[in-house]
Amino acid sequence: MTAHSGTAQPGPAQAPILTVTLNPALDIATATDSVVPEIKLRCDAPQVDPGGGGINVSRAIDRMGGRSTALVALGGGTGVRLATQLAEAGLAVLRLEAPGDTRFSLSVTDRGTGQQFRFVLPGPQWGPLDVRAALDALGTSAPTGGLVVLSGSNPPGVPPAFAAMAAARLAGTGSRLVVDTSGAALAAVAAARDAPVELLRMDDAEAAFLAGAPLPTRADTADFAARLAASGAARTVIVARGSDGNIIATPEGRWHVAAHRVPVVSKVGAGDSFVAGYVLGLARHWSVADALGLGAAAASATVMTPASDLCHPADVERLFAEREVTPV
């Protein structure tokens, strides 16, 4: 276990953070007695929150006393409602015009089993001009000496190589790019060599797919992460191993951070909260181990909250004090 050398409270200075959400969603969460087919399911009054990877990162950063600006593609009436919620939350927002209505996302909890069902819609179709506008906005908004977090799925029509294109656009700006994505977009970043990102994050299933083999142990995961970093795809690679915590490989070494044993109410936003905690630690100029600890605390605090709510500050502070980070 690392020495408890910091707290989750803000330090004297924080580098600027820009989060990027191309495919945001208005997250609707509800519950019903049992999820079964063919009948009308009477549900609770919904909880509605702004959602999407980058938005959730900004929301969690705000919960932890940090600051960020959210670059968000919004469109239609749903986009107006989402923008209103972001403003009410006090988040700084840069609006990018989306080519269609912002999507909805639905999560339904089955009270009988405790299982959560998540229904994710695709979002509007983008064209080449929309992609170019997003890259231009990213290049204009990226903070010098700061961090840019590109998180979440790509809308239809956005090429899988968008993150690599974003890394190329940011080259020479002094901004460091953090990418948390999946599927074809993740594979494109992992295969890139000429525009490496600062940090690439994925889960264990995605890592095993890229590795072409199972990664049953922490050492296996750390070896894969180190190989991917050494290939030039990213300076740092993080692999989430679910209940077994997270592995990180950096030029300075490899570490494991344990997941906290907490009651799981909802997993919505847990991965985004981890990214928020880790990036906020980096922005506060913390060590890798302490930044990892804040990420794990934020993720565990988030799964303790219902629906699409995110981490509560008191829970993050308590869990951060209990963090377990060890070399691999």
Q: Is 204 a catalytic residue?
A: no
* Location of structure tokens 């992992």: 190
From 27, 49, 272, 309, the catalytic residue: 272
CB atoms near residue 321 (< 10 Å): 13
Q: Give how far Cα 115 sits from Cα of 5, 278, 282, Å.
A: 38, 28, 34
CB atoms near residue 88 (< 10 Å): 9
Q: Give how far Cα 195 sits from Cα of 28, 165, 189, 198, 257, Å.
A: 37, 8, 9, 10, 28
DSSP 137: H
What is the edge-to-edge ordering of all strands in the sheet holding 325-327? Answer: 92-97, 69-74, 17-21, 147-151, 176-180, 197-203, 234-240, 246-250, 253-257, 325-327
Q: 176-179 contacts: CB < 8 A, separation 24 or more?
A: 176/146, 176/147, 176/148, 177/147, 177/148, 177/150, 178/147, 178/148, 178/149, 178/150, 178/151, 178/275, 178/279, 179/150, 179/151, 179/234
Q: Is 123 left (phi over 0), alpha (psi -120 to 50) or beta?
A: left
Residues marked as catalytic: 272
